Chains A and B, each alone.
Chain A
Amino acid sequence: MDTATLLLELGAVLLVLSVAARAALRAGVSPIPLYLLIGLAFGDGGLYPLFTAESFIEPAAQIGVILLLLMLGLEYSPEELAAGLRAGWRLALADLLANFTPGLLAGLALGWGTAASVVLGGVTYISSSGIAAKLIDDLGWLANRETPLVLSLLVAEDLVMAVYLPVLGALLVGGTALAIAGSVVIALVAAGFALFVAFRYGERISRAVASPSREGLLLGVLGITLVVAGLAERLHISAAVGAFLVGIALSGPVQHRIHGLLQPLRDLFAASFFVLFGLAIDPRDIPPVLLVAVALALVTAATKTATVWWGAARAGIGRRGRRRAASVLIARGEFSIVIAEIGVVTGIEHRLGALATAYVLLLAVAGPLATRYAALARRSTAPAP
C-alpha cells in the first residue's frame, strides 16, 4: 500500500469532515447527516471514489460502532435505568409499539424478510439520544418540567436495545425456527446476565477497573470492550451487542470518567463509521427508495410526536412543554444507522442501507428544525408585556 496516498486521502477526508462538523455546529444541526452525505459522495458511484483510505476507515468504522454502543451503555447507571423504567414503563411501551410497528410493517409491505423488517422496525423506533441531549442542552431546557420525561424515555429506549440487539443478532444468524429460538434464548440470557452483573456488582467492577492513571483506565476499558465484543462476534451475537453490555456493566464512580475519556475517541471513530456506511451505498440506489423513506419519515415523526404528546399530557405538562418534548425526540440518528448496519453487513436486503440512509437524513435534519420551531413558537404565543 502507498503510505503517501493513504495519508493524503485520509487527511482530506478528515478535513472535509471537520468542515462539516463546523458547519453543523453553526447551523445548529447534527453532523451525522453530513457525514453520511460525505460518505455517499466518496463512495462507489459518487463524486470521487476513495480506494486507499478505505483500508483505515474500515477497521476504524468497526471500532466506531463498538464505541457508540459502549457509550450508549455507559450513559446511564443501573439505578437510573431502573428508576427510568419504573417511572415511565407505560410511555416506554407505547413508544415501542407506535414507532417500531411502522418500520416493521413497511418492511413486510416491501416484501422484505422477517429479519430485514425487524431491522427496519428498530431503525424507525429509536430516537437519537445524541441529537436530543444536545438540543436540550443547547436550548437551555435542562431545568424544564418536561425534560425528566424526555430523558427517562431515552433511558427506556436504551433498555429496549439491551433486549432488541441480542434478539436481532439471533434472528440474523438464521437457521431453523428451533435454532433461532435457541439463539434468542442465549442472547437474552447474556443480556439478562450483563444487566444482573451491572446491578449487583457494578460498584465492584468499577473499583477493579478504576485507576487514577488516565492511560491505565482508557486502555483497560478499551481492551475489555474489544475482547467482549470479539467474543460476542464469535458467538454470533454481534460485536455491537457485546460492547453495549460492557457499557451497562460498567457503572459507579468510574462511569463518568470513562465517558469523558472516550468522547474524543468516539467522535473520531464514529465519524469513520458514518462515512463508511455512506461509502458502501451507491447514491443511485437512493431515488428508488426515496418515496418510501419520505412516507416512513412522515408517519414515524407523527407517531413519535403523538406518543410523547400523550405521555407529557399525562404528566400534567402544558401544550408548549409537550411540543418541546415531542419535537426533541423526532430525530433519528446514530443508533438507527448502527441497527441498519447490523442488517446491511449480513446482506439480507440490498435496499436496507439506502432506505435507512435516506430516512435518517430526513429525520436527523427535520427533527432539530421542528425543535427550533417549537423554541421560536414560545415567543410568538407569549402574551405581550
Chain B
Amino acid sequence: MTSEIEETPLPGVGVRYSFTASSNAHVSVLHHHSGRHQLFVGDPEDPDASQLVLEFNDEDSRVLAELLGASTVVREIDRLQQSVAGLSIEWLRIPDGTNAAGHTIGELEIRSSTGVTVVAALRGGEALPVPGPEFLIERGDTLVVMGRPEAIRRADALLRG
C-alpha cells in the first residue's frame, strides 16, 4: 500500500513532495529549480516544522533510488504509474534541426526546467535506462520521459524548440 503523495509548489524555489511514511514520519522531498534536491523529515516536536536530513544532486538521487530498490526502468515506471495518479509517460523523438541535439541532459536542465524525469533513452534499437545528466543527446534519439501532462508538454517544447 502506498500512502498519498502531496505536491506543493514553492514559488521561486521548486516543488515539494511529501508523504507520511509507515513509521508515521512526515517525509518531504524538495526539488529546487536550480537542480538541488533536499530530503526533510518532520520534526516530532513541532507539527509545522521539518528538519533537513540530506542535500543531494541528480546523480546522488539516482544512486539513492537504485539503493532503495528501484533498479529497473520498467519497475520504476510501473510503480510510479500505479501510485501517482495523473502521471504519464511519453516517447519524445529528437527531430532533425533541433537545438537539443548535441547537448547533454544536464545542460538542457530537463528535469529542473520542465519537471519531467528522463527514464530511458532509445538509440539505434538499444535502450539505455535512466540516462544521467552527462548523457549527450543526438538527433534521432528517443527520450522516454515521465511526468505530469503539462510537464511533458514543456519537455516536448524544450526538445523540439
CB within 8 Å of B: which residues of A?
A: 75-77, 80-81, 83-84, 129, 133, 137, 140-148, 151-152, 154-155, 203, 207, 210-212, 252-257, 259-260, 317-318, 320-321, 324, 378, 382-383
Closest 8 A/B residue pairs (Cβ): A321-B48, A143-B40, A140-B52, A143-B50, A80-B11, A253-B113, A145-B48, A143-B28
Known contacts A140-B52, A382-B45; is-contact A254 B16 (Cβ 8 Å) = no
Do B12 and A253 have beta carbons less than 8 Å apart? Answer: no
Chain A CB within 8 A of B103 CB:
yes
Chain B contacts for A80, CB-based, 8 A: 9, 11-12
How long is the Cα–Cα vector from A152 to B11 in the complex, in angstroms? 7
Interface on chain B toward A: helix, strand, loop, or mixed SS?
mixed
Do A383 and B45 have beta carbons less than 8 Å apart? Answer: yes
Q: Taking the nearest CB of chain A, how far is it from the CB of B102, in angstroms?
A: 8
How long is the Cα–Cα vector from A203 to B114 in the complex, in angstroms? 12
How long is the Cα–Cα vector from A81 to B12 in the complex, in angstroms? 10
Which single member of B38, B100, B102 contacts A143 (CB below 8 Å)? Answer: B38
How long is the Cα–Cα vector from A203 to B70 in the complex, in angstroms? 34
Beyond A253-B114, A253-B154, list 11 extra A-B contacts (CB 8 Å): A76-B12, A77-B11, A129-B12, A141-B50, A142-B13, A143-B18, A145-B49, A210-B161, A254-B113, A256-B109, A320-B48
Which single member of B9, B40, B112 contacts A142 (CB below 8 Å)? Answer: B40
Contact digits for B126-154, partner A, Cβ 8 Å, 1 yes 0 no:
00000000000000000000000000001
Chain B contacts for A133, CB-based, 8 A: 12-13
Near A by CB (< 8 A), chain B positions 56-100 give 99-100
Do A151 and B10 have beta carbons less than 8 Å apart? Answer: yes
Known contacts A80-B11, A143-B30, A212-B99; is-contact A321 B158 (Cβ 8 Å) = no
26 chain-A/chain-B pairs, Cβ below 8 angstroms: A76-B11, A133-B12, A137-B13, A140-B51, A141-B49, A142-B52, A143-B16, A143-B28, A143-B40, A143-B50, A147-B10, A151-B10, A151-B13, A207-B157, A207-B161, A210-B99, A210-B158, A212-B100, A252-B157, A256-B113, A257-B113, A260-B34, A318-B47, A320-B48, A321-B48, A321-B49
Query: Nearest chain-B residue to A139 (Cβ)?
Result: B52
Query: Nearest chain-A residue to B33 (Cβ)?
Result: A256
Chain A contacts for B52, CB-based, 8 A: 140, 142-143
**Total count of chain B residues near the partner, CB < 8 A:** 36
Chain A contacts for B30, CB-based, 8 A: 142-143
How long is the Cα–Cα vector from A76 to B33 in the complex, in angstroms? 11
Query: Nearest chain-B residue to A385 (Cβ)?
Result: B45
Chain A CB within 8 A of B3 CB:
no
Chain B contacts for A154, CB-based, 8 A: 11-12
Query: Nearest chain-A residue to B10 (Cβ)?
Result: A151
Known contacts A210-B161, A253-B114, A256-B112; is-contact A151 B49 (Cβ 8 Å) = no
Chain A CB within 10 Å, residue with most, of B30, B47, B114: B47
Do B34 and A256 have beta carbons less than 8 Å apart? Answer: yes
Do B48 and A252 have beta carbons less than 8 Å apart? Answer: no
Do A378 and B103 have beta carbons less than 8 Å apart? Answer: no
Do B47 and A142 have beta carbons less than 8 Å apart? Answer: no
How long is the Cα–Cα vector from A270 to B155 in the complex, in angstroms? 33
Chain A CB within 8 A of B2 CB:
no
How long is the Cα–Cα vector from A252 to B109 in the complex, in angstroms? 12
How long is the Cα–Cα vector from A81 to B10 in the complex, in angstroms? 11
Chain B contacts for A256, CB-based, 8 A: 33-34, 109, 112-113
Do A155 and B48 have beta carbons less than 8 Å apart? Answer: no
Query: Nearest chain-A residue to B47 (Cβ)?
Result: A318
Chain B contacts for A142, CB-based, 8 A: 10, 13, 16, 30, 38, 40, 52
Known contacts A212-B107, A320-B46, A382-B45; is-contact A252 B12 (Cβ 8 Å) = no
Known contacts A142-B38, A212-B103, A212-B107; is-contact A148 B8 (Cβ 8 Å) = yes
Known contacts A143-B50, A253-B157; is-contact A155 B12 (Cβ 8 Å) = yes
Q: Taking the nearest CB of chain A, how far is it from the CB of B11, in angstroms?
A: 4
Q: Taking the nearest CB of chain B, how far is it from the CB of A347, in angstroms?
A: 35
Chain A CB within 8 A of B108 CB:
yes
Chain A contacts for B107, CB-based, 8 A: 212
